Structure 1
Amino acid sequence: MPVIVRVLLCLSLVLPVAALALPPPCNSGRVFEDRDGDGRWSRGDRPLPGVLVSDGVRLVRTDAQGGYGLPVEDGRTIFVVKPAGHAFPTGGDGLPEFWRHQQYHAGPTLKYGGIPDGFPACRDFALRRAAPSRGDLDVLVFADPQAKTQAQVDYYDRDIIAPLVAAANGRPAAALGLTLGDIANDDLSLYPALKAATARLRTPWLHAAGNHDLDFDAATDEDSLRSFRNAFGPDTFAWEEPQASFIVLDDVIYRPGQKPAYVGGLREEQFTWLAAYLDTLARDRRLVIAAHIPFFDEPGRETFRRADRERLFALLAPFSKVLLLSGHGHVQRHHYHDADDGWHGASPLHEYNVGAACGGYWGGAPDAAGLPDARMSDGTPNGYARLRLARDGGYALHWHAARAGDEAMSLHAPKVLRRGHWPGVGLFANVYMGEAGTRVEVRIDGGEWQPMRRVDAADPALVAENLLDDLATALRGYDRLPEAEASTHLWRFNLPTDLAAGEHAFEVRAFDRWRGELRASGSYRLVDAAE
């Protein structure tokens, strides 16, 4: 046989086999109850009909056999909306396995990898029955861990994670966890280490994307979260528990080449998906909307596109129980949306802007354990929140300062004053979860309770730290604490100077809407002095 004929014959045999080695794109599969726990559909497992599956735009329900099918579109992330009463298995990275990518052809080349090709195969999703909930749902809420170095990953692990692990004593730290963006600080190569730290909590964990989680070398907003999605899954999705539906939104619109490089808002496909999902829910269902950039604007500038906010609020308005959670600001505050913001629901819409896990960007002088002070610009210590959700839709929020135990407020007062001095020197109470209407009172030497006055001012304790940094001739820490800014939860009282010389005790109480009466105490001294 001539050589050329032999070659052609070999090619005719090899090419079909090579073509079959790469299966055609596929976007279908099965959702099932994995009764034997092996992660694969097998005899004895039960199909789960009626479960929602999505590619971020389209939303379909599984059929009687648990099957689903979606159009094939490169770059999509397919996910299952976890039904209440079920749980996903945990992957090797500690995250729940509820998603997969559809990336048949190579996507854009990005510094941190993006989504690699090679995800053409169909995928089944396994679920298991969850233990019945016997009370409130306990949710850990982190905002802005924002590590930019491996040392800061270690701070996150020791300061935030380790105490929670110790308190859990071998059990999951909570029923569910949320991180509200800025997981890393632009260096996305730190994702594996950050995931490993969070996985020690043994808690199903969901992640929103932040402006420091972007692929800044992406050419479009649509491609700017490819590396984030490869690490954490879809950027916009839903997750259901008996007490609430959680809706996680990417609300960072990346604008390459523009200033500012990003703005708060939503993409058209997100509105399409959200409208479809909300149509599946009862109007009295508790909704928890989790995102990075706050939905309110900063004074004097549009930080969240007003048209997008009004459109989002119009979709949410029919629901009677909505809570917004956001991060980004590295302060702690509450905002109640009304008609001025485009909210036309029956009552003001509560947004809790959660303080940062990294606080003031892991800045400040270190303590004896080598952990930086990390106070935020409003004087709130770094830490995390707990959200408790009841089956009737009620909720409670609690801020946990990382190294201050159950401390609810910090007090600042002079140590000593001249007896008879003009009584205009202030005692300040920074009530971390305080709101505009929070009642805060003080009493001196066990006397009558007197009201404290809320002030828009900087926490003087943080101002003092700023001055110490200014006056120091050597660095007090790797980075300084942020410059003190006006706090939304600071109260003031003029200390009396017409009392007897000596030590005088003061006690402050604040009435938290969820925890009730909270107290803190201290003292100051009056001395006689001759001019």
Structure 2
Amino acid sequence: MLRSSLCAVVLGLLATSHVQAQNAHLTGVVYSDSNGNQRRDASERGIAGIKVSNGRDLATSDAQGRYTLPARDGSTVFVIKPPGYATATGSNGLPLFWHHVFPAGSPSLRYGGIAATTGGELDFPLRKQAKVGGDLKMLVFGDPQPKSLVDVGYYERDIVQPLVGKHDVRLGVSMGDIVNDDLSLYPAMNRVTSQLGVPWMHVPGNHDLDFDAKRDEDALLSFRNVFGPDSYAWEEPQASFIVLDDVVYLPGQNPAYIGGLREDQFAFLQAYLATLPKDRRVVISVHIPFFEPYPGVESFRRVDRDRLFAMLKDHSQVLLLSAHTHNQRHYRHDAGTGWHGAQPLHEYNVGAACGAFWSGVKDAQGIPDTTMSDGTPNGYAWLTFKPDGEYSLRYQVARAPSDQAMLLYAPKVLRLGAWAANGIYANVFMGDADSRVEYRIDEGAWKPMRRVSQPDPTLVAENLADDKAEQLRGYDRSPEAVPSTHLWRGVLPTDVGLGEHRVQVRVFDRWRGELTSETRYRLDQAKE
């Protein structure tokens, strides 16, 4: 009897240990969803060699498509879409490549958080894509950031509708601040963005936080409920894309956030980067930039930036994408910001789709001007990758011709023979310190323009008009102009004869070659 009792206890302990071991891991199958019904049918086989992650650990599917990962309650498990395959599409028209693991649900939050999930295997359907060679074209939207359904309408009419049925992109990304604190606007935004008909990645921003969360780990639960993991990877033949939540929530502090990365993100990056060839194009997408918009002010934790850059140092083709500033600029990291790669590291800080938060005077179509504080009109970027990973960028001003690369500002009339003290200004949206910008009067010789650090005079004039107005000119006035990083000036001559004179400006864009614009001014004879 005693022997039987001991055997029963031992068997019970073994059974408990087996259950605990099973509970410590989660499993599933990555399979070829040949009929697209998002269910694993008997005839549908697993796919080997596909990477799956719980946000910290990385697994690769075996010959049957099966993977095993450590179970992490509160995590979001995702498949890293491989080249040549497509993910499932959710009911909101966006990619469905993830499962939440929340056995007890998330903390209760104003915008819902994440409901309790059931157990079982977490399978991932993938569909084989027809082979598409050549370039990969994608759209990059910075900060759409509507505060209301009215703003969602601006986003639709100003940004999305002009593109519907008129593009050849295969991928898109919104670079954070999908909305402006009101997370109930996500469904409306997804309805609009999904009209573009391509897989769309979403980066979380500081205005996508659950501000009633008690800690950083819970601050994106409502975002994750809609868009899936806050940090993940996505692969195309031309490049590997890594999305990272770089907003560290600091509840009760002012400011309530800082740029940075978590330990689980570093663990995921270390595991994932180890799977990539060192010459593979890697694109890191974040919301808060890695550079410091205000020099000396630590807006992104430098210790985290140093650690990330050390992990990327031996990768020869890295591109950083960021947003957040509601300005536009190119930044090239070097040893001064902790980058020690063979070449400077390019970060493109894209202008905002919402511009200056949908502010300013409305045009004839009822859409606000919303020029950003550095004088860049609102819009988005086209990003193209060659098969070898080389890339090109083009900024598209919303609803403007595709060749609009700059805005010019010049006085309309000057006195003939006056001291030449007035200038023409060129705000070159994609300009940087290496840009060659020139101008000429009539058909004269081309002369270099000088890069200056000062506010864009077009926006300064708008600020003055707002100041002088007796009534509001728009829902919100235009932002106060700040020094632009891409403004050039040339002196207008006053000795070239009475009458009207043509001024041409050209810039030699590193990707698009020579681009031009022009304006006119007049010289009049003044009376004493």
* Residue pairs, 1:26-425, within 5 angstroms: 27-168=26-167, 174-297=169-292, 298-406=294-402, 407-425=404-422
Q: Deviations over 1:341-392 (max 9, x none)?
A: 0000001000000000000110000001100001000110000001100111
Q: Supply the AA of the counterpart residue of 2:412.
A: K
1:166 positional shift:
4.3
Give SS of 1:27's match: strand
Does 1:434 pair with 2:454? Answer: no
TM-aligned CA deviation for residue 123 of structure 1: 2.5
Query: Which residue of structure 2 lines up, in the alignment, with residue 482 of structure 1?
Result: 479
Structure 2 match to 1:447: 444
Whole-Å separation in 2 of the counterparts to 1:26 and 1:469: 61
State the alpha-carbon separation in 2 of the partners of residues 411 and 392 from structure 1: 36
1:403, distance to aligned residue in structure 2 (A):
2.4
Deviation, structure 1 residue 330: 0.3
Does the 8 A contact of 1:359 with 1:381 survive in 2?
yes
* Matches of 1:60 and 1:45, distance apart in 2: 21
Contact 1:27 1:102 in 2 (8 A): no
Greater mean alpha carbon deviation, residues 445-454 or residues 44-53: 44-53
- After TM superposition, give the deviation of residue 340 of structure 1 in Å: 0.7
Deviations 1:429-449, CA, capped at 9 Å, x for gaps: 000000101000001011110
Residue 454 of structure 1 deviates from its aligned partner by 0.4
SS in structure 2 opposite 1:523? Answer: strand
Q: Report what 1:10 is aligned to.
A: none
Q: Measure the CA separation in 1 of the matches of 2:525 and 2:430.
A: 38
Alignment RMSD, CA only? 1.3
Gap regions ≥5 residues in structure 1: 1-23
Residue 37 (structure 1) shift = 2.2
Question: Is this contact kept in 1: 2:162–2:399, CA < 8 A?
Answer: no
What code does the residue aligned with 1:301 have? Answer: V
Alpha-carbon distance between aligned partners in 2 of 1:441 and 1:132, rounded to the nearest angstrom: 44
1:393 Cα shift? 1.7
TM-score, normalization by structure 1: 0.94
User: Which secondary structure state, in structure 2, belongs to the residue aligned with residue 89 of structure 1?
Assistant: strand
Q: Distance in 1 between matches of 2:118 and 2:482?
A: 48
Give, in whole Å, the separation in 2 of the partners of 1:423 and 1:291: 45
Which of 136-145 and 292-301 deviates more?
292-301
Residue 265 of structure 1 and its aligned partner are, at CA, apart by 0.5
Query: CA-to-partner distance for each residue in 1:155-195, whole Å, 9 max, x for gaps?
Result: 00110000010424xxxx52100111000000000000001
1:464 aligns to 2:461 (yes or no) = yes
In structure 2, C-alpha distance between the alignment counterparts of 1:516 and 1:491, rounded to whole Å: 18
Contact kept, 8 Å, 1:25 with 1:104, in 2: the verdict is no
- Does the Cα contact within 8 Å between 2:84 and 2:236 map onto a contact in 1? yes
Distance 1:119 1:146, change over 3 A: farther
Give 1:381's aligned amino acid. Answer: P
What is the count of residue pairs matched by the alignment? 505
Instruction: Tell me the distance in 2 between the aligned counterparts of 1:218 and 1:36.
Output: 41
Amino acid at match of 2:409: H
Change (3 A) 1:153 1:25: farther
Alignment of 1:485-524 (within 5 A): 485-524=482-521
SS at match of 2:36: coil
Distance in structure 2 (CA, Å) of the matches to 1:189 and 1:431:
37
- In 1, the alpha carbon distance for the partners of 2:112 and 2:394 equals 38
Q: Distance in 1 between matches of 2:458 and 2:46?
A: 59
1:299 to partner: Cα distance: 1.5
The answer as to whether partners of 1:25 and 1:121 remain within 8 angstroms in 2 is: no
Q: How many angstroms does 1:74 deviate by?
A: 1.9
Query: Runs of 5+ in structure 2 lacking a partner?
Result: 1-22
Residue 70 (structure 1) shift: 2.1
Which residue does 1:528 correspond to in 2?
525
Which string of whole-angstrom CA distances, capped at 9 and with x for unpartnered residues, describes residues 321-346 of structure 1?
Answer: 00000000000100000001000000
Distance across 1 between alignment mates of 2:472 and 2:149: 20
Structure 1 residue 26: deviation in Å?
Answer: 7.8
Distance apart, 1:529 and its partner CA: 0.8
Q: Say if 1:237 and 1:247, in contact at 8 Å, map to a contact too.
A: yes
Off by >4 Å, runs of 4+ in structure 1 = none
